[in-house]
């Protein structure tokens, strides 16, 4: 406890005002993912290196992969808000009630890739329509690759979802599975999906190509029904007081590698990785991939539209968020 309080106090004193920063400013970034993990080696460490090279005399990031400042994925927002770390990789779905507008990307057949989704969601943030970001500044809004169904037995059409127990995050995705006739199971994290499929607790899991490979799903669930069922938001975010207190040159260096520049970097890495894993699994004779039909698409869109009407009715702001995302996607597709 003494060490924790000491670290928090030191961090708090360091960000009291811009004048308190050393030259160069050193920010501490936490990431609970292992240092040798594929996203760490291909994205987070290269991003830190990129920031550190922009203006070394103004800003440096001291990086703590492997959770050097906190290993619990569910507490990363607290770590940043309490200034144990200045910035961190945060799984926003753990804080759904705090960020109510993020669920817009969960709706199927909206975004088509991590790059497109991340750019559009960054545009929505910059338009000021996203709630919940009062205490943090999302330097990088990360939209996942497309989510689909990974299953123990083949799913040949959306009708086959009926009666299946499907791991899904609570909220829109759980409601979608119910609309499609399945039974959502919301208390299983993605890193426990393979174990629970192998034990027969669940029949399928909502996943993307990267998480399917990352968490070794093909060993127990060698089937994918590749229908786009939405995406999810995560972020690399900095404490807002820290960000706003940065000297101008330090903030400029951080901004240069953040926001839309970060969305492009994230998208290039994650879409490239997703495409490579998809190609590998499609070529694997022990793994089957079923693509969706027009009838499947129509059924999912009909279910989505029913959920959208309920979501719009719950809060008029929800329609503003959805319309902003659609407009951003249309703008990007017109480029």
Which pLDDT does position 17 carry in this prediction? 35
Predicted pLDDT at 21: 60
Domain with CATH 3.40.190.170 in the chain: 2-144+232-273, 148-231+286-334
- CATH 3.40.190.170 for domain 148-231+286-334: yes
pLDDT value of residue 8: 36
Query: CB neighbours of 10 closer than 8 A, spacing ≥ 6?
Result: none
- Which pLDDT belongs to residue 190? 83
pLDDT tens digits along 318-335? 999 999 999 999 999 999
pLDDT in tens, 227-278: 999 999 999 999 999 999 999 999 999 999 999 999 999 999 999 999 999 9
pLDDT at 74: 87
At 19 the pLDDT is 40
**Which stretches in the chain have pLDDT values below 70?**
1-22
| Confidence at residue 214, expressed as pLDDT on a 0 to 100 scale | 84
CATH no. of 2-144+232-273: 3.40.190.170
Sheet with 183-185, edge to edge strand ranges: 183-185, 165-167, 204-207, 148-151, 223-226, 288-291
- pLDDT at residue 37, as a whole number: 86
């Amino acid at each position: 406890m003494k060490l924790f309080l000491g670290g928090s106090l030191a961090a708090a004193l360091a960000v009291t005002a811009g004048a308190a920063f050393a030259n160069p400013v050193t920010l501490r970034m936490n990431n609970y993912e292992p240092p040798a993990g594929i996203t760490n080696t291909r994205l987070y460490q290269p991003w830190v290196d990129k920031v550190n090279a922009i203006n070394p005399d103004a800003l440096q990031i001291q990086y703590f992969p492997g959770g050097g400042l906190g290993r619990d994925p569910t507490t990363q927002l607290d770590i940043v808000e309490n200034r144990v770390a200045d910035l961190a990789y945060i799984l926003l779905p753990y804080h759904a009630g705090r960020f109510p507008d993020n669920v817009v990307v969960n709706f199927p057949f909206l975004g088509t890739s991590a790059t497109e989704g991340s750019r559009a969601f960054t545009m929505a943030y910059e338009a000021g329509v996203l709630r919940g970001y009062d205490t943090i500044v999302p330097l990088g809004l990360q939209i996942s690759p497309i989510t689909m169904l990974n299953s123990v037995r083949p799913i040949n059409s959306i009708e086959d979802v009926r009666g299946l127990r499907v791991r899904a995050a609570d909220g829109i995705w759980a409601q979608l599975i119910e609309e499609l006739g399945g039974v959502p199971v919301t208390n299983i994290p993605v890193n426990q999906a393979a174990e629970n499929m192998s034990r027969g607790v669940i029949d399928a899991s909502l996943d993307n190509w990267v998480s399917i490979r990352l968490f070794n799903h093909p060993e127990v669930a060698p089937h994918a029904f590749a229908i786009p069922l939405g995406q999810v938001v995560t972020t690399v975010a900095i404490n807002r007081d820290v960000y706003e207190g940065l000297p101008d040159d330090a903030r400029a260096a951080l901004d240069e590698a953040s926001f839309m520049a970060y969305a492009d970097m994230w998208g290039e890495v994650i879409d490239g990785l997703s495409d490579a894993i998809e190609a590998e699994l499609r070529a694997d004779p022990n793994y089957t991939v079923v693509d969706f039909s027009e009838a499947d698409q129509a059924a999912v869109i009909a279910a989505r539209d029913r959920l959208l009407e309920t979501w719009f009715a719950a809060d008029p702001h929800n329609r503003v968020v959805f319309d902003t995302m659609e407009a951003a996607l249309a703008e990007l597709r017109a480029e």
